[in-house]
Copies of this chain bind each other. A is one copy, B any other.
């Protein structure tokens, strides 16, 4: 390779890692040779000498704290975002609790098998951030540090409050005023935040913010049960739900009563999961900005591992979801309204 370009091995390395050190003609010559020979450096050798694997670890699958895991579209965005910096993703497995995840982090970190990790599904009393900080593992979290707002690590979260507000806005501007809320009960993570958004949007508009209920869990069956009572008692013309699952429950409950979703009753979901397109009519819902989330998290891990990134993100960020209008709110034309 070096011989082919008529330069030394170090010059090739410089062309790849510190192009500013070479004169333009030399660089051009070396690059031409690189292209011609299809040369790419051996990752293991590069990792050994540079003390950098260009690998980021992440867990997948449901955790002990939430039904929400790393959905595949988000994983795909992580891969894309990492590739911008020449990084790849390593899947660390699916473990039910913090201790299991920490054990996996410990293993890969001591082997120097990754440059950092991404945390998802943060929760109250999360043991992971403190552990990672102590060990000096570069990391960033999807989800705010519930119960520890001053935690110094980088994180990004999606605005549940703002999303619910968007849903109320959409419904109110379509003429609805009896807008109920269905959540899945109290936890400190996402659910409450979404309920507060509904509450404030209603109050701000001077609408009756009493019609609300909590399902016994985030399932279709639990949602349908509670929806039946909610519909019976308050006769709402619209229901804002804290999840697509609960919204599907509302659709089922309405179907059973002969209430036509989309015309007699408007329903909004949340998360824009695959389920949102499986009900009839399809659910108006709130999409999470996965691409922005992935860029943010990857950039932070890459930065923390000692590499400069073009457009450094702030330490924390609350990103806005997007309302996707479908048939469940009478949307004739499907479209996206931005916040």
Q: A interface vs B, CB < 8 Å? A: 38, 40-45, 47-48, 53, 55, 60-61, 69-73, 75-76, 78-80, 83, 88-94, 107-108, 110-113, 220-221, 224, 245, 248, 252, 255, 274-275, 278, 280
Contact = CB atoms under 8 A, between A and B. Distances in A.
A113 B41 CA distance: 10
A108 B47 CA distance: 14
Contact of A72 (B38, B55, B61): B61
A79 B107 contact: no
Given A79-B94, A90-B55, A112 B278 contact: no
A88 B113 CA distance: 10
B220 A110 contact: no
B112 A42 contact: yes
A221 B278 CA distance: 8
A94 B110 contact: no
Contacts of A70: 72
Given A72-B69, A93-B83, A94-B76, A44 B47 contact: yes
Nearest 6 A-B pairs (CB), nearest first?
A: A44-B47, A76-B94, A44-B48, A43-B113, A79-B93, A89-B91
A70 B79 CA distance: 15
Contacts of A61: 72-73, 76
B278 A248 contact: yes
Nearest to A273: B274
B90 A88 contact: yes
A79 B92 contact: yes
A43 B111 contact: yes
Contacts of A93: 76, 79-80, 83
Given A55-B90, A248-B278, A280-B220, A43 B83 contact: no
A89 to B, nearest CB: 5
15 contacts: A42-B48, A43-B112, A44-B48, A45-B48, A47-B48, A61-B76, A69-B72, A79-B92, A80-B93, A89-B90, A90-B90, A90-B91, A220-B278, A221-B280, A278-B278
A76 to B, nearest CB: 4
Contacts of A78: 91
Nearest to A89: B91
Given A113-B88, A220-B280, A60 B43 contact: no
A234 to B, nearest CB: 23
Task: Count chain B CB atoms within 10 A of each CB in A71, A79, A80, A220 and give the residue with the most.
Answer: A79
A103 to B, nearest CB: 12
